[in-house]
Amino acid sequence: MANPLGKRWYDDACGTALGLELVGERWALLIVRELMFGGRRFSELRAGLPGISANVLTQRLERMEAVGIVQRRKLPPPANVQVYELTPWGYEAEPAIQSLGRWAVRSPLHDPTLDLSPASIMMSFRTMYSAERVGTASETLGFRFGDEVFVVTVDGTELTVRRDEPDGCPVVVDTTPPMLAAVVYGDMPVEDAEATGQMTVTGDRDVLRRFASWFVLPEKAG
C-alpha cells in the first residue's frame, strides 16, 4: 500500500512525512486550528481563514474527513445545520500546531500586527502562557469578538479555553483579536486600548492586566 489518497505521496515511513500528507496541504493545518475549540460551520471557517476559497475549503474538509481528522455532524432539527468538528485524534494535533507556532514566531519575518482570528489568539494563549509567571494565581476571563465568545480559565498549571457566554465572568473583554494581542503581547496599556474605542472592558481591569503579564513571546532568533 502506498497511495491511498491523491497522487503525490512521499512514500516514506517517517511519521513527519505522513503528517505532511495529512495536513501539509495549503490551509489544512489552519483549518484544524479553527476547529480546535469546537465544531464550526462552513461559513464560520471561511471567516476565520481570510483568503481561502470555498472550493479549497471543501476539498480540505473532505480529505481530512477521509483520513479521520475531521467529522461532520448534523445538528438536530430545527437547527438542522451541519458542523465540522475534529475527531478525538484530530484534537491531539494541538501540540504539533503549537510547536510549529512557537518555533516560527521567532522568525524575523513574524509580524504580530497582522490580523488574526479569534481561534488563533486563543490558541496562542494556550501556547505562550508561562506557568512560572502565573504561579498560584487562578482567574476566569471572558472574551467577546463580535459574536465569537470565549471563557478562559487559568489555574496555575493549566489554561483552558472554551466557547461560552462570558457573562458572569469577573472581567469581560469585548474587542478584536489584534487589539487583544497588542495588550497581551505588545506594550499597549489597557486604558490606551479602551481609548481607541476598539476595546471595552467590563469588570475588574486588574484581572486583565495581570492576565497580560502571564504571556511572553519568545525572542527573535539571530
Footprint of its own copies on residues 76-95 (CB under 8 A)?
A: 87-89, 92-93, 95
Residue 194 binding: pick among DNA, its own copies, none (C-beta 5-8 Å cut-off by kind): none
Retrieve residue 220's grid coordinates.
527573535
Q: Quick check: 127 binds its own copies (CB under 8 A)?
A: yes
43 binds, among its own copies, DNA, none (CB under 5 to 8 A by kind): DNA
Looking at 116, 149, 154, 184, which residue binds its own copies (CB under 8 A)? 116
Choices 8-16, 131-139, 156-164, 207-215 (CB under 8 A): range interacting with its own copies: 8-16
**DSSP letters for 149-216:** EEEEEE-SS-EEEEE---TTSSEEEEE-HHHHHHHHTS---HHHHHHTTSEEEEE-HHHHHHHHTTB-
Contact between 122 and its own copies by CB under 8 A: the answer reads: no
Euclidean distance between CA atoms 156 and 168, whole angstroms? 21
Residue 102 C-beta: closest distance to DNA, Å: 24
- CA torsion sign for 9, 11, 12, 15 is positive
Is there binding between residue 212 and its own copies (CB under 8 A)? no
Residues in the chain, how many? 222
Question: For the window 39-68, what string marks contact with its own copies as x by the rule CB under 8 A?
Answer: -----------xx---------------xx
Whether residue 183 contacts residue 215, with contact meaning beta carbons closer than 8 Å, is answered with no
By the 10 Å C-beta count (0-12 exposed, 13-18 middle, 19+ buried), 37 is classed as: buried
Q: Strand 171-175 and strand 139-145: pairing? A: parallel
Q: Which residue number, 100 or 131, has a Cβ lying nearer to its own copies? A: 100
The binding site for its own copies (CB under 8 A) comprises 1-2, 4, 8, 10-22, 24, 26, 29-30, 33, 50-51, 67-68, 87-89, 92-93, 95-117, 120, 123-124, 127, 178, 181, 221-222
